[in-house]
Amino acid sequence: MIGVLLVNLGTPDAPDTGSVRRYLREFLMDGRVIDIPYPFRFLLVNGIIAPFRAPKSAKIYQQLWEERGSPLKFYGEDVRDELQKSLGSEYVVKLAMRYQNPDLPSVLKEMEKMQLDKLIIIPLFPQYASATTGSVYERVMELMSSWQIMPNISLVSYFYQRPGFAAYFAEKAKKYQAEHDFDYYLFSYHGVPERHIRNGDITKNTCVFGTCCEQITGKNHGCYRAQCFETTRLIAKEMGLKDGTFGTAFQSRLGRDPWLQPYTDETIKKLVKEGNKKILAFSPAFVADCLETTIEVGEEYKELFEEAGGEHWQLVESLNNSPEWVSFLKDLVQQS
């Protein structure tokens, strides 16, 4: 029996302040997410961020919530079920969240009892980052360290470059291109602090947050920023876009330390000033629509864009529970 473990970031159990507070505490107390010494992290998260941010975030989650609950969770459940059907009885497919439910400890305990021959772990993050994929691996290895019998293990670090990923977004964009002549195509990725990138630069002289991301090389192939720029190039190539009509930016920064640039909000204002009044936006760092796509990019950035003088803003939906995404994962599993 081959086990397939799909792991996404996580979501609150409900769109209320208490649930959101619990989610934020677990998420932000991860040392790979906020990489400062534990005592300071504890005070920052539990004394400032969670208490003050939870009520505001709960209101936003209420806008996002659907009858089935959190889209990130129910899309994941759909994909898990369809992938199980597609792979057949020789495989067992499970879904877990790095934070909250379904929780990794419970899911892995179930899988331990199955006496698997092989376990394929797929963090659902197209690009590698220490705060996402790295955190999943660290937690999985910690939980599996007590297993007496270890199956063969296959870890998928990233998949943005695999055949079909860029093609999906290019295909989804076609229906919007048929309706409007867009001036610009903006690819917005979740940001991380610049220090995360510097910490991952083993050479200590490759990452300069500029031209080093113009192509993927042997030295930067594991760099999140470089992978994001490469994702943009791959989708743009699939779409046949010309240089100068598309670009990469980073959203969702937190705190005063410098995060990956250019920032999406500042980029939007700049693009409008340059005469780009119709923009098609993408969020290729997410495999399911969530707060950061539907609300932040789809609504908040649209409002910012229109206030700056923009005329038409459209977000291309994520992979969600599409047949193409299930097929992509099936190929990924069978090649792992």
pLDDT digits (tens, 9 = 90+) for 48-59: 999 999 999 999
Give the residue carrying structure tokens 């705060």.
Answer: 131
Which runs of consecutive H residues, i.e. helices, occur in the chain?
Answer: 17-28, 38-44, 50-64, 71-87, 104-112, 135-144, 165-177, 194-200, 224-239, 264-273, 301-307, 323-334
How many helices (H) does the chain have, and how many strands (E)? 12, 8
What is the pTM (predicted TM-score) of this model? 0.95
Tell me if 292 is assigned to a ligand binding site.
yes
> Which tokens is 91 given?
């495989």
Contact 264, 304 (CB under 8 A): no
- Give residues with Cβ within 8 angstroms of 148, minimum separation 6: none
CA-to-CA distance for 252 and 294, rounded, in angstroms? 13
Q: List Cα–Cα distances, 127 to 5, 16, 18, 299, in angstroms.
A: 18, 30, 31, 24
What helix, strand, coil percent values describe the chain, rounded to 5? 45, 15, 35
Render each residue's pLDDT in the chain as its tens digit; 336 residues: 999 999 999 999 999 999 999 999 999 999 999 999 999 999 999 999 999 999 999 999 999 999 999 999 999 999 999 999 999 999 999 999 999 999 999 999 999 999 999 999 999 999 999 999 999 999 999 999 999 999 999 999 999 999 899 999 999 999 999 999 999 999 999 999 999 998 888 887 778 888 888 889 888 889 999 999 999 999 999 999 999 999 999 998 887 889 999 999 999 999 999 999 999 999 999 999 999 999 999 999 999 999 999 999 999 999 999 999 999 999 999 998
Tell me if 190 is assigned to a ligand binding site.
yes
Contact 175, 27 (CB under 8 A): no
